[in-house]
Each structure stands twice: as C-alpha cells, then as structure tokens.
Amino acid sequence: MTGVAPVLTTAPALPGRAFIRQGWHDVVFLHWRVDVSAVAPLLPAGVRPDTMGADGVDDGVTTWVGLIGFRFTDTAFPPLAPMRRLGTFVEVNVRVYTVDDRGRHGVVFLSLDAGRFLPAVAARAMLGLPYHWAHAATRWGGDGTRGRGAAAGRHGEGGRVAYAMRRHGSSARSRFAVHVGAPIAEPSPLEQFLTARWGMHVHRFGATRFWPNEHPAWPLHHARAESVHDDLMGEVGLPRSLADVPPDSVLWSPGVTTSFARGTA
C-alpha cells in the first residue's frame, strides 16, 4: 500500500483522451457524516472509506454519505457530437467517499437513478454502475421552471431548487428541496473534500478500476435544506435513520462541464 496523497483542490490532467464528456448543472449536495463502519461493508475490494471530520481535520473514523441531485446535459463520447436530448436528463445518486491502495481519492456510487431509460441501461451494462431508470424532475422556485438551461442564470442566491424521483418498478423515492444562499469565496477543507473528487471507483469483471475525471473548480454556494424525504440511502444498506435527521452539510452549485478518461486498475 502506498501513502495516501492529500485531496487535491484542482483536477489533475486526464491521463488519456476524454472518453465521456457531459455537463452537470443545478447541483444539490446533501451530506451526512457517519462512522466508517456504516460504509466499509458496502465498498468493493481495494478501496476503503475516505475520512474527514466535520471540522475539516482527518479524524480517521468519520466519513460521509452524499445524496446528490443534478441535471445531466449534452452527454458526448468524443469525438462524436453530444447526444442532445438523449444525453440530457435529471439524476439523483447516493455516493460515498473512498481511497484506494494507491492513495487515489474518489467516490463509489451506491445507486444512481436517471430520468432517461437508455442512458441508465447503457451505463449499467457498459460501465458496471448501479444505474436505475426513474421518473426524475427538478423545479426552481414557484415559477414552474423545469430543467431549463437558463434556470441557474435567473436563480441563484435566494432561489429554491427541488428534486424528486421515483424508481420504476420499485417503491423507492427521494424528494428534497433547498434554499440557495451566498456564494462561497473560498471553500473550507471539508467542502473541498466533499466536492473536489477527481475520479470514481467502479467494480467490474472482478476488479476495481479508477475512472479519473477533470473539470473546473466547483462554483459553490451555501444552501439550507428545506425538506428531505429519502428511501435511497436505506435501500443501499446505509442506516435508514439518516434521512430522518437534517444533513450536516448542504451546498449548491450552478455546475461544471466534466470529462472522464477510461478506467484503470
């Protein structure tokens, strides 16, 4: 096992050409702190929970569970053009924070619910990600705006954004709404830890691979949770009581454009 490098605040350059490029917009980050014992049994071989205390100091025992809602836009597989409508949809996912034996910090997705059937099926089959097809939507404020690219431009500080999803063929649902606060000029160590994640660990065909990604630094805003009703965290084996308490960290971002390179062991 090599030494663990610090979480980087800016993305390293991709080691090869971009395999997937997509926009992530109107991103709501809800996070709960948990003991590593709640997460460790859910992880693939070769990775362990990444740890960080609420004060931004690594205490070795505290890790985090994220419930994330956002809009995918213009998914593309370079050099092919963006898929436009097919590659644009709402997603809600549950993720945890990991580090591997080579010291690479990333995330493991425990579930991903996408509002479009073909991308969900393709990502599950091709990449081994635990995608599900769901009815998923987002709404800004009370003006009826749904998933429009101009939403983040009209609504920022003082706005309200909500996500709702219902998994097809299941009773699993998730609904949450936040009020967006002031921009964050300089993210704290914890805010960096929860958002500056430059790869995902994915178990596929008997091996855990690291898929690196890069994008500009997240433009983050403070936010306040108005309501959270969630089944997804309990569905993946996390404590069902998590959704009964307010999240420990709430952030919002207008979004970034990101690129992934192919995964490596």
Question: Would 92 be classed as within a structural domain?
Answer: yes
d(CA 201, CA 244): 28
Q: Residue 229: give its domain's CATH number.
A: 2.40.400.10
Indicate the pTM of the whole model.
Answer: 0.92
Given a contact cutoff of 8 angstroms between Cβ atoms, the answer to whether 110 and 94 are in contact is yes
Q: What's the 3-state SS for 103-149?
A: CCEEEEEEEEEECCHHHHHHHHHHHCCCEEEEEEEEEECCCCECCCC
Non-local (6+) Cβ contacts of 108 within 8 A are 42, 43, 44, 47, 95, 96, 98, 200, 201, 202
Taking 60 as the threshold, does the pLDDT of residue 35 lie above it?
yes
Q: Which residues constitute the domain of residue 91?
A: 20-260
Question: Would 227 be classed as within a structural domain?
Answer: yes
* Total domains present in the chain: 1
pLDDT of 75 reads 83
Question: Would 63 be classed as within a structural domain?
Answer: yes
Question: For residue 78, is the peptide bond before it cis, meaning its omega torsion is within 30 degrees of 0?
Answer: no
Classify burial at 162, counting beta carbons within 10 Å of its beta carbon; exposed 0-12, middle 13-18, buried 19 or more: middle
Question: Would 178 be classed as within a structural domain?
Answer: yes
pLDDT of 156 reads 73
pLDDT of 4 reads 65
Question: Would 71 be classed as within a structural domain?
Answer: yes
Taking 90 as the threshold, does the pLDDT of residue 187 lie above it?
yes
Q: Of 28, 5, 3, 19, nearest to 222 (Cα)?
A: 28
- Residue 3: pLDDT band with limits 50, 70, 90: low
d(CA 149, CA 129): 27
Q: Give the number of residues written for the chain.
A: 265
Task: Indicate if the alpha-carbon torsion angle 114, 116, 117, 118 is positive or negative.
Answer: negative
| 127 or 172, greater pLDDT | 172
Question: Would 13 be classed as within a structural domain?
Answer: no
- pLDDT tens for 48-85 read 999 999 999 999 999 999 999 999 998 887 776 677 77
Question: Would 136 be classed as within a structural domain?
Answer: yes
Question: Would 8 be classed as within a structural domain?
Answer: no
**Mean of pLDDT over the chain:** 90
